Structure formats: C-alpha cells, structure tokens
C-alpha cells in the first residue's frame, strides 16, 4: 500500500507530539482583489464567512474589551490584542479537548502578508511569543508577498516552523481570469520559487471543479504544483455559496459544479502521483449551513472524506 503523508504526521514526526493549528482572523486585513488594488469584488467564489470558518468562531468570542492606548497605530494595537485573545481562547479549548501542548498560529482569513512590513513583523513576532507556539502558517496570495516579507520570514524560519500558504487554484490563465483572480500563473510560479529559494515551507492550494476545467486540466495543475517543489498541498472542490458572483452564474446556468464521483476520481488520480515527502493538509471542504447552494454533497464533509478514503484504499493508497 502507498502511504500518504498527512500534515499532522509530518508535524508529529518533527516535534515528537501532535501540533495543532490555531486559526486567527484579524481586523483590518483585506485582499488586493477586494479593495480594488488589482480587481474588484474578489474571486467569483469568495465569501469569507464560508471559506474562513474561524470568522464565525471569532464572532462568538468577541467579549474582549480593547485597550487602545496607542496614538501612533491604534489598528495595530487592536490587531495585537485580538491575536492574543483569539489564541488564548482557541488554544485553551484545544488543550481541554485534545490535551494539546504545541501550536502553529495560522493567519487564515484574507491576505496575511498584505500590510506594511513593520505591521507584519510585530504581528508575526507577537504570535511566536505566545505560549507553546512552535511556528506560523500564513495564508496569502502570490501578488501580495514582497521580497522584504520573504526575507523576514526566512530569518524567522531559522528558529521556528514557518509555512506560507499560496492560493494556486489553477495553472491556467484563462481559468484564473474566469474566477476574477487578479493575477496570472506566472505570478504564482515566481512567488513559490522565491519562497523555496529561501527554504520556506510552502503549501499550495488547489481547487478542483473550476469553470470549464477538464480532468486533464486539474491533473496538470496538480503535476505543476508538485514540480514547483511545494512541501504540502490542500485540495478542495469548488462549491457555490450565497453572496458570490459564482452564485449568480450558477443560477443563470453558466456554471455546473463538479460531481462527487468526478472529484473523488481526480483525488485518486492525483494521489497516485504524489511524492512520499509532500504532505496533504486537506482533501475536501464544504459548508454545513444554509449558505451552500450547490453541490449538495459538499454539505457533509465527513461523508465525503470517508468516500475519498475508501476509494483511495481500493486503489492501494492509505490515507
């Protein structure tokens, strides 16, 4: 049997025990594809409340009273306090529920390198100073990472576990244009190569079922992602949620979501080619609330995950 390396297993092998991601969502962060820097409206599928479930958790724990004494940068002061409060709240829950004792701070919502370098330095250093934190995982876009930011992350990586997560989605420029991504694949390729040159750990995000993409195109995106030298991969299907441009396209009959059978087939075909040293962080995703429009099978992630594991096992792959 071929054994797939999970991200959890990679971290456990490295640190001798399980390491848990603590997702963080901070005020003031946005995206150049939302604020008009490169485009307006964001990606056609993007609705942050559904793609970043941490935002819902944050709403539930907002009983924080912010002490904003800084006249120089009150937003940064707010972000630092939010970071500490969210980490304390969520890490304590992980400690209570799973006996967790080591953590990665996961800057998840929006684009987490899209801010002044001095702001990023203070946020990253604050995160690394929190109790039992062994490193960072930073979600971002390839068009929002400067050489200055990468150089600073390289410095941090000498003593800490540093991951940078890029939304690749597809290697095809025509697809990126259809989803209003705001950059081309060359931009993604350059950012990943620059990150790997600095020995930063890179996780590449892929979406299967993007508009008009064939099985062959999905596999080509996977193959190229591996070729770029990423250390880990996340994959999920494209699903339609309320308050998105994709929802309008779906209702007009301009987009048909990927079927569960086709999605699972492409996961199996991809994992057959996966090198043993690249870890997998995600194989499916969905929304378990009323905002999901289609496909129905994305409503139950656990059911989908079980079917994927079963089909992988049939094909001699243990995950």
CATH code, domain carrying 10: 3.30.750.200
**Total tally of structural domains belonging to the chain:** 1
Domain assignment of residue 235, given as a range: 2-318
CB 225 within 8 A of CB 233: yes
> What confidence score (pLDDT) does residue 58 get?
47
CB neighbours of 232 closer than 8 A, spacing ≥ 6? 7, 10, 163, 201, 202, 203, 204, 278, 279, 280, 281
pLDDT in tens, the chain (319 residues): 999 999 999 999 999 999 999 999 999 888 887 777 776 678 899 875 544 444 444 444 444 444 444 456 889 999 999 999 999 999 999 999 999 999 999 999 889 998 999 999 999 999 999 999 999 999 999 999 999 999 999 999 999 999 999 999 999 999 999 999 989 999 999 999 999 999 999 999 999 999 999 999 999 999 999 999 999 999 999 999 999 999 999 999 999 999 999 999 999 999 999 999 999 999 999 898 899 999 999 999 999 999 999 999 999 999 9
Please give the angle made by the CA atoms of 221, 224 and 229, to the nearest 5 degrees: 135
| Nearest of 105, 104, 115 to residue 32 by alpha carbon | 115
Up-side HSE of residue 280: CA atoms within 13 Å toward CB?
A: 22
| Nearest of 283, 302, 295 to residue 238 by alpha carbon | 295
Read off the pTM: 0.91
- Report how far residue 220's alpha carbon sits from residue 216's, in angstroms, rounded to the nearest whole number: 6
> What confidence score (pLDDT) does residue 156 get?
98
């Amino acid at each position: 049997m071929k054994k797939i390396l999970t991200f959890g297993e990679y971290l456990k092998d490295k640190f001798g025990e399980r390491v848990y991601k603590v997702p963080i969502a901070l005020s003031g962060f946005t995206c150049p594809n939302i604020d008009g820097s490169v485009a307006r409206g964001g990606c056609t599928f993007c609705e942050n409340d559904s793609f970043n479930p941490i935002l819902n958790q944050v709403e539930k724990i907002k009983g924080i009273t912010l002490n904003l004494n800084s006249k120089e940068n009150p937003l940064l002061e707010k972000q630092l306090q939010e970071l500490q409060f969210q980490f304390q709240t969520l890490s304590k829950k992980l400690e209570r529920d799973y006996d967790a004792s080591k953590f990665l701070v996961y800057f998840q919502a929006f684009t987490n390198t899209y801010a002044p370098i001095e702001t990023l330095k203070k946020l990253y250093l604050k995160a690394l100073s929190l109790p039992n934190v062994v490193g960072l995982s930073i979600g971002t876009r390839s068009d929002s990472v400067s050489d200055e930011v990468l150089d600073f992350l390289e410095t941090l990586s000498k003593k800490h576990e540093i991951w940078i997560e890029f939304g690749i989605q597809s290697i095809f420029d025509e697809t990126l244009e259809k989803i209003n991504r705001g950059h081309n694949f060359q931009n993604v390729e350059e950012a990943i190569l620059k990150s790997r040159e600095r020995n930063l750990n890179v996780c590449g995000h892929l979406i299967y079922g993007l508009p008009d993409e064939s099985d062959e195109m999905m596999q080509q995106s996977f193959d190229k992602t591996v070729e770029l030298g990423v250390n880990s991969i996340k994959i999920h299907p494209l699903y339609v949620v309320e308050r998105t441009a994709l929802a309008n396209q779906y209702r007009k009959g301009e987009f048909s979501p990927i079927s569960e059978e086709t999605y699972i087939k492409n996961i199996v075909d991809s994992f057959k080619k996966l090198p043993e040293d690249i870890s997998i962080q995600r194989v499916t995703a969905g929304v378990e609330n009323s905002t999901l429009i289609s496909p129905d099978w994305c409503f139950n992630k656990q059911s989908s995950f079980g079917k994927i594991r079963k089909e992988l096992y049939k094909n001699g792959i243990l995950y």
